[in-house]
Structure 1
Amino acid sequence: MEHARFDFSPIVNRRPLKLPNGARVALWVIPNLEHFHFDQPSISIYESTAGFKPDILNYSWRDYGVRVGIWRLIDMMKKYNIKGTAALNSDVCKEYPEIIEAGKQLGWEWMGHGITNSKLMANLEKEEEHQIIKDVLGTIEKSTGSKPKGWLGPALTETFNTLDLLKEEGIEYVADWVNDDQPYAMKVKNRSLLYSIPYSIEINDITAFLRFGYTPEQFYQMIVDQFDVLYAEGESNARVMSICLHPFLIGQPFRSKYLEKAFAYITNHKDVWIATGSEIIDYFKTTEKEAN
């Protein structure tokens, strides 16, 4: 079947995208702030124990992210004036309120990311999914003081109803579709528009370290190479570059030093707009209006 959510649009046929102050690249950094249940399997570093209940090895490995890794990442982002867009499990709000307070002080944006990464958004009945979305957005708004405008499904999962339900609840952009270097409009019910924002499944520490088996040095080189190509292309048609991070991985000391090197490299270039998801989408919508 066809998804009917958007039309095919080759990037070479589009009107060139312009960013504020002539920037070539919008840098979008997404810390994934997640809670995992003690008795449920999830992303693992050691598969031999992944089916155990409890799985102490993998659970405690993930738990490093909220206890230590996120604080190392926060310090790094502060150093390079990078304001994050946190993909936030709503369970984080009650389980780790200190992280929410730290993000608020830094002016981070909060993007809905389901209840917990121990429960994905696939194969849900419409009513159940709608209630989950409402609960997630309500919990985050109560905890942070602002209702999310963006959404990333846990493990980028959706149902056939997700986009319509997100729009109905006021979401303006979604990051699940990893198919472009620029934002684009998606069709939802009632002739409304929801926007896709470029998220990366490859400039992503989970894929790089756990799927590809890359070293921290190789991840650094991936980020630099991605930036160099997008920066060159962005001279005539601007691009969005996302860096997708999970504190239990990138927050490990031997990895974090290479992310810091990548941040230093990128921020040493002019014509780079460090932006949140909402800032990128809001600006993109104004350029669309001007074009029409």
Structure 2
Amino acid sequence: MSAAVPDTPRWPAALPDHGRFAYRPIHRRPDWQWPGGARLAVYLGYNLEHFAFGDGLGAALGPVSPHPDVLNFSWREYGNRVGAWRCLDLFDQLGLPAGTLVNTALYDHCPELVQAHVARGDEIVGHGHTNAERQGGWSEGHERELLASCRARIARESGRAPAGWLSPWISESPRTPDLLAETGYAYTLNWCHDDQPVPLRTRSGTALWSVPYPQELNDIPMLVARQMDTRDFFALVQDHFDEMLLQARAQPLVMGLALHPYIVGQPHRLRHLRGALEAFARARDAGRIWFTTPGAIAAHMQALAAERPGEFA
């Protein structure tokens, strides 16, 4: 005898939702322009990170060994000692600003590296204290302390409090956007759900802008996790750029490129990065793109939302 079929399904009618933003298809959005009449905003999300020796998390070049994992620690440290300075030279040669995502542990380890970015006018973005840890599983008080202390230290050491945040390993608790707004941040790079900035709802009622941060135009998931060839990765970057220029004729868009100097600062990869950034610089010089920083993108959207209330919710 077959079992009776229940009258109602056992699963809920709707899946749990974050409540941060409503669904809104890309073709049903208000129109605007970036500064200078550009339709595509492009920025570098340039990650400067420091890792605990003998403890915690970290990207791996080779098999992870029990701590102290000298192979993988020293590979990452190459970025701060060599790769980051090579990248800085390249940014200077092309006159490109960077959204520099900073672990505050760098102020103890190599403060001159952060100062070099401040001196050239780069935006300093909060990126936790160290990428050896994740904040998503912490208590609310512990997470609030991290956000506030990183903001205060960047303000003290570099002269300006950061407007934006990227969590180490994109790790969030259910409260992270609320805490970011409450501790003074204006935007987050944690969400990769759109090609336009989107305001996130928070419990205080203060909007927190989500500026698109890439997880495919990103050297860690592509070159390390997926082991993509460097030539293929930067061909992907060029293809993405060309297609977004085409799509941006219809609506304004954002394209970020996420980089880590211990990866792209290796000489054989820097050569391919150079070609990609030269293409960006040519497009900037021709007035085809707005080459900027994530903070400038968020500030532009804040101003637009104030001028046109209700359109960007």
TM-score (norm 2): 0.90
Q: Distance in 2 between matches of 1:236 and 1:288?
A: 20
**What's 1:16 paired with?**
31
Q: Which residue of 31, 34, 54 corresponds with 2:46?
A: 31
Q: Which digits, 9 at most, give the CA deviation of each residue in 1:170-214, with x for residues without a partner?
A: 100000001111101000012110000010011001111112211
Work out the percentage of aligned pairs sharing the same amino acid: 31
Q: Is the 1:17–1:239 Cα contact (8 Å) retained in structure 2?
A: no
1:18 positional shift: 1.4
State the number of aligned residues: 290
**What's 2:4 paired with?**
none
Give SS of 1:190's match: coil
Q: Is the 2:107–2:114 Cα contact (8 Å) retained in structure 1?
A: yes
Q: Is the 1:152–1:176 Cα contact (8 Å) retained in structure 2?
A: yes
Amino acid at match of 1:36: F
Q: Distance in 2 between matches of 1:193 and 1:171?
A: 10
Q: Distance in 1 between matches of 2:139 and 2:306?
A: 36
Q: Distance in 1 between matches of 2:191 and 2:217?
A: 14
**What's 1:284 paired with?**
301
Q: Distance in 2 between matches of 1:128 and 1:166?
A: 13
Q: Distance in 2 between matches of 1:71 and 1:154?
A: 22
Q: Which residue of 132, 153, 171 corresponds with 1:118?
A: 132
Q: Which residue of 19, 26, 44 corresponds with 2:60?
A: 44
Give SS of 2:256's match: strand
**What's 1:202 paired with?**
216
Q: Distance in 2 between matches of 1:90 and 1:105?
A: 17
Gaps of 5+ in 1: none
Task: Note if 1:244 corresponds to 2:258.
Answer: yes
Give SS of 1:42's match: coil
Q: Is the 2:96–2:281 Cα contact (8 Å) retained in structure 1?
A: no
- Higher alpha-carbon deviation: 10-19 or 247-256: 10-19
Q: Is the 2:101–2:125 Cα contact (8 Å) retained in structure 1?
A: yes
1:253 positional shift: 0.1
Q: Distance in 2 between matches of 1:117 and 1:51?
A: 18
**What's 1:173 paired with?**
187
Q: Which residue of 271, 277, 292 corresponds with 1:275?
A: 292
1:100 positional shift: 1.5
Q: Is the 1:17–1:238 Cα contact (8 Å) retained in structure 2?
A: yes
Q: Distance in 1 between matches of 2:306 and 2:111?
A: 39
**What's 2:172 paired with?**
158
Give SS of 1:86's match: strand
Q: Distance in 2 between matches of 1:267 and 1:108?
A: 16
Q: Is the 2:97–2:121 Cα contact (8 Å) retained in structure 1?
A: yes
Equivalent residues in 2 for 1:55-134 (5 A)? Answer: 55-134=69-148
Q: Greater CA radius of gyration, 1 or 2? A: 2
Q: Distance in 2 between matches of 1:117 and 1:33?
A: 10
1:289 positional shift: 2.7
Give SS of 2:27's match: helix
Q: Distance in 1 between matches of 2:307 and 2:239?
A: 33
1:24 positional shift: 2.1
1:266 positional shift: 2.0
Gaps of 5+ in 2: 1-15
**What's 2:240 paired with?**
226
Q: Distance in 2 between matches of 1:3 and 1:150?
A: 21
Amino acid at match of 2:20: R
> Post-superposition, which runs of at least 4 consecutive aligned residues in structure 1 deviate over 4 A?
none
More helix by share: 1
